[in-house]
């Protein structure tokens, strides 16, 4: 399995189930996990995007410790993919619009917390390594980007 194939699987899981689990570390080293609604964009291979409000704690955490891990899984847990790499907080209106368009109606819960689309930043994770687990087959593939 290569980086393109593993990101295709990540994209398929996101498309089918809509969420991923993001792990960050706070300023004192405590881990934090949260569900987010990510997306992949054509023309940006190996990059995972999400949106957040700049006032949310995850922004402070990734500015202090940029390395994060995403986890994507099928509901039956027959496939689990973890993606690690640095996360950039991007304040670019054009990219924000592109990510908003890609995520579309999957942000119902998010809008209850963040009310203004102009007050959003893009979370851009650049994949460095992915681990794909197929538990039912006892298989684990590690892919470096």
Give residue 143's pLDDT band: very low, low, confident or very high (50, 70, 90). Answer: very high
DSSP letter at 24? E
Please give the tally of structural domains in the chain.
1
Q: What percent of the chain has pLDDT over 70?
A: 91
In the predicted model, what is the mean pLDDT of residues 48-56?
Answer: 92
Instruction: Considering only residues 7 and 113, tell me which one the structure prediction assigns the higher pLDDT.
Output: 7
- Note the pTM of the prediction, 2 decimals: 0.91
Q: What share of the chain is helix, strand, coil (3-state, %, to 5)?
A: 30, 40, 30
Q: What is the pLDDT of residue 60?
A: 94
Q: Which domain CATH number covers 112?
A: 2.30.110.10
Q: What is the mean pLDDT of residues 27-50?
A: 95
Tell me what the pLDDT averaged over the chain comes to: 92
Distance CA 26, CA 86 (A): 14
Nearest to 81 by CA among 15, 129, 31, 136: 129
| Structural domain range at position 41 | 3-144
> How confident is the model over 101-138, as pLDDT tens digits?
898 777 665 655 556 666 789 999 999 999 999 999 99
Q: pLDDT at position 101, please?
A: 87
């Amino acid at each position: 399995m290569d980086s393109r194939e593993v990101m295709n699987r990540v994209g398929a899981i996101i498309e089918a189930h809509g969420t991923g689990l993001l792990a960050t570390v706070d300023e004192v080293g405590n881990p934090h996990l949260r569900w987010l609604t990510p997306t992949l964009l054509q023309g940006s291979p190996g990059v995972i995007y999400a949106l957040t409000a700049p006032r949310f704690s995850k922004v402070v955490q990734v500015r202090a410790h940029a390395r994060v891990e995403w986890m994507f899984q099928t509901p039956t847990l027959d496939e689990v993919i973890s993606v690690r790499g640095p996360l950039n907080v991007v304040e670019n209106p054009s990219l924000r619009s592109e990510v908003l368009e890609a995520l579309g109606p999957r942000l119902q819960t998010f809008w209850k917390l963040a009310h203004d689309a102009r007050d959003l930043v893009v979370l851009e994770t650049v994949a460095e390594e992915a681990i794909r687990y197929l538990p039912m087959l006892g298989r684990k593939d590690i892919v470096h980007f």
